[in-house]
Amino acid sequence: MEDKYVLKLNNLSVSYKVYEGLLKVIPGLDMTVMAGQRVGLIGEAGCGKTTVLKTVASILQCPPAVIKYDALEVCGKKAEGKAGVRNVRKTVSMIFQDPSTSLNPTLKISTQMSDILKSQFPGQKREDYQRRMLESLQAVAMPAPERVLDSYPVQLSGGMRQRVCIAMSLMKDSEFILADEPTTALDVTIEEQILDLLDRLVREKNKSLILVSHALGAVRKITERLFVMYAGNIVETGPTRELFASPRHPYTIGLLAATPKLTGEGIADGIEGDIPSYLHPPQGCRFADRCPRKTDLCLEKAPVLEPVEEKPGWYVACHHAEGKVRP
């Protein structure tokens, strides 16, 4: 089981056609997720996390997006040609950022849920569909599921809507779940409930997960492996706990330091500056502009992911990272 991949993504590049030209958001990205693995994807807003997830789920609008990759394989299905892309879409589930826009405002919850069941498991009796819908709502700890089924999205709170979304995305038999900031649009009090719920469901059913979140504490708790993204590149990846304990890439160090701590003194420092323009991205390292360790080498040559010494599975893309194996 352990050496089975659910996601294999080689040399992905995504650009967006806009009026001013081509936004080269993701220049070339590799990512693998093993079966049953829970993976975290972090990075500041606008660095391409959602783009990666939407590419994997094959729901990116093209145009404006222009997607290229050497290989995209999800749960053993290759995304080649239109049929391939459709097959890939069938194998993944995705939870969106904002539950207030990811449910159809004009249809009852029961209609939206039963349409998934009718499409996925056609030809069953109405009572069976009804029973399954109630079960899946109970599985996400939804109070009064009958009433929720009979409601429209506007009648539910944000937390309830996200529970419905999670329930809906677990309805089809997919082994692989993409959660795109599932709690960003919710109250902090609800955030933990939802993440706990997601964690429990994924563990119970032994599914694979990519969790994109700004709640770093939750990412640390839930995931085993971490990808850190900056401006369309994965700058560091490794086992979650160790990476949190001793980050190597200057961006990761800054990102983790920016988290306010209960024990700390006041508000933590951020990283000065902004993500570079995707219209004319820098030739060298995309982080160089904001990096405390910047040298001339960084401006000329973009670093690639290289293994960190004596740490299997830990890679960092920086010319000046500590403990890196020199080629």
Partner 1 sequence: MQNTFVMLVKRAVHFILVLMLLSFLIFSFIRLIPGDPVRLSLGVMAPEETVQRMRHELYFDRPLVVQYFHWLQGVVTKGDFGQSLYTHHAVSQDIATYLPRSLELAFYAAILILIFGVLVGTVSALFKNTWIDNVIRFLSYLGVVTPPYVIALFLLILFAYTLKWFPIGGVPSIPEEIVKTGMPGLDALLAGNWALYGKVLKSLVLPTLSISLGSIAYQARIHRSSMIENINADYIAFARVAGVSSTRLVMKHMMKPSFIPTFTIYGLQVAALLGNAFLIEVIFRYPGFSQYSLNVILNKDPYSIVAVTFVFGVIFAVVNLLIDLGVSWLDPRIRLKASE
List contacts with partner 1 (CB under 8 A): 54, 57, 59, 61, 89-90, 92-94, 96, 98, 101-108, 111-112, 115-116, 118-120, 152, 154-155, 165, 168-169, 171-172
**Residue 11 or 111 with smaller CB distance to partner 1:** 111
Among residues 30, 73, 26, the alpha carbon closest in space to that of 51 is found at 26
**Residue 172 or 214 with smaller CB distance to partner 1:** 172
Pairing of strands 176-180, 92-95: parallel
- Token look-up 């920086």 returns 318
Six token digits for residue 260: 């306010």
Cα torsion angle, 49, 245, 196, 206, sign: positive
**Residue 155 or 206 with smaller CB distance to partner 1:** 155
**Residue 105 or 260 with smaller CB distance to partner 1:** 105
For the bound state, the minimum distance from the C-beta of residue 163 to partner 1, rounded and expressed in Å, comes to 14
SS3 for 227? strand
Backbone region of residue 88 per phi and psi (left: phi > 0; alpha: psi in -120 to 50; beta: other values): alpha
Six token digits for residue 37: 């693995």
SS3 for 112? helix
Across 206-258, where does the E strand assignment appear? 208-212, 225-230, 233-239
Name the phi and psi angles at 271, rounded to 5: -100, 130
For the bound state, the minimum distance from the C-beta of residue 161 to partner 1, rounded and expressed in Å, comes to 11
**Residue 154 or 304 with smaller CB distance to partner 1:** 154
For the bound state, the minimum distance from the C-beta of residue 58 to partner 1, rounded and expressed in Å, comes to 8
**12 vs 27: CA distance, rounded Å:** 7
Amino acid at 327: P
For the bound state, the minimum distance from the C-beta of residue 316 to partner 1, rounded and expressed in Å, comes to 32
**26 vs 34: CA distance, rounded Å:** 22
**Residue 30 or 98 with smaller CB distance to partner 1:** 98
Beta-bridge partners for 119: none
**Residue 44 or 180 with smaller CB distance to partner 1:** 180
- Triad 319, 290, 248: Cα angle to 5°: 40
For the bound state, the minimum distance from the C-beta of residue 294 to partner 1, rounded and expressed in Å, comes to 38
For the bound state, the minimum distance from the C-beta of residue 154 to partner 1, rounded and expressed in Å, comes to 5
For the bound state, the minimum distance from the C-beta of residue 106 to partner 1, rounded and expressed in Å, comes to 5
